[in-house]
Amino acid sequence: MTVFLQSDESPLSGGGNYFENDEIIKRPYTLGLLDFSHELCYAGQSPVPAYAALNNLVKGGTAANNGPVARVLESGMLKFTGAAPDVSDYVTLPESEFSLPATCKRALVSVALALPATGYGTPAATRYPMFFGRMNNTAAANINFAIWGIVSTDGVLTSVQGAALGSVAVSATAQLATLTDGGTHIVSVYADGETTPGVLTTRIYVDNTLVATATNSAWDGVVPQPSNQPRIGSYPATIHGPWNGMKVGRPLIMDLTGSSLIAADIISQQVALAAEYLG
């Protein structure tokens, strides 16, 4: 992976000589980005040790931490190798950088996923493996942002869904065959409550394809701040982590409020960079 030079000059100063650690970073709008293929995020080898630091690539960012399970690093992605759903398999993320603030009106979250088509066993109940997010559960009022899967008791991955800013879940089920084709794909959720005051429009994308849209025409502007902290993977006793070789990479969170940045352009760039860096 390319390492970009840095200076202390603000990108807003007009000097033109400031380079971020990753091309997707647009300060001050990019809050957090981890790329496990980047030596500034993680310079070690596979497996990633328990509790190892994983550095936010946004300048001034702090470290996420792998949880209690040493984790395989494969093609720049964290691989969850458990044979069954687990509530103690996770990466903790710093709340101040991987959460949407109460003032957020327009947000984009994105993550690279590689999902097996089969092999999920027979869970005791429907499980919702959390790939990237901050939520107490999948009810809209308890979601700051999140992207998760749904696995039935028959061991079938039935959907990948997402939400942000307290939106209802939007489903990428229509692209499930693509998501489980053996490749790496970008799932993105874009929530816009800024363009039309009082209306929250939430969209989910797989790679560059818009899959589904949900509209709340009576949005109160409240951005949930769940008691659970942001994570990749499980919350003890409440939400399960991925398993069966599911892989997660390049988690990205952006507060686009007040910016002229176009979400579709950022998603397209994220898809291109994932193809370059996560091969």
CA atoms lying within 13 Å on the CB side of residue 183: 14
173 neighbors 108 (Cβ within 8 angstroms): no
Nearest to 230 by CA among 46, 75, 56: 56
Using alpha carbons, list the distances in angstroms from residue 211 to 11, 116, 174, 189: 34, 20, 7, 10
162 neighbors 148 (Cβ within 8 angstroms): yes
The per-residue pLDDT for 279 is 76
The per-residue pLDDT for 274 is 97
The per-residue pLDDT for 237 is 82
Cis ω for the linkage preceding 47 (within 30 of 0): yes
Q: How far is it, in rounded angstroms, from Cα 196 to Cα 21?
A: 33
Q: How far is it, in rounded angstroms, from Cα 257 to Cα 26?
A: 13
64 neighbors 51 (Cβ within 8 angstroms): no
170: left (phi over 0), alpha (psi -120 to 50) or beta: beta
Based on C-alpha coordinates, what's the Rg of the chain?
Answer: 18
Q: How far is it, in rounded angstroms, from Cα 275 to Cα 272?
A: 5
pLDDT in tens, the chain (279 residues): 544 444 444 444 444 445 899 999 999 999 999 999 999 999 999 999 999 999 999 999 999 999 999 999 999 999 999 999 999 999 999 999 999 999 999 999 999 999 999 999 999 999 999 999 999 999 999 999 999 999 999 999 999 999 999 999 999 999 999 999 999 999 999 999 999 999 999 999 999 999 999 999 999 999 999 999 999 999 988 899 999 999 999 999 999 999 999 999 999 999 999 999 997
DSSP 8-state code for residue 116: -
User: b vs e for 247-268, b when ≥16 Cβ sit within 10 Å of the residue's Cβ?
Assistant: bbbbbbbbbbbeeeeebeebbb
Q: How far is it, in rounded angstroms, from Cα 186 to Cα 50?
A: 26
Total count of residues recorded for the chain: 279
The per-residue pLDDT for 15 is 43
The per-residue pLDDT for 236 is 87
The per-residue pLDDT for 11 is 45
3-class secondary-structure state, position 23:
coil
Q: Which two tokens stand for residue 15?
A: 């000097």
120 neighbors 155 (Cβ within 8 angstroms): yes
The per-residue pLDDT for 12 is 46
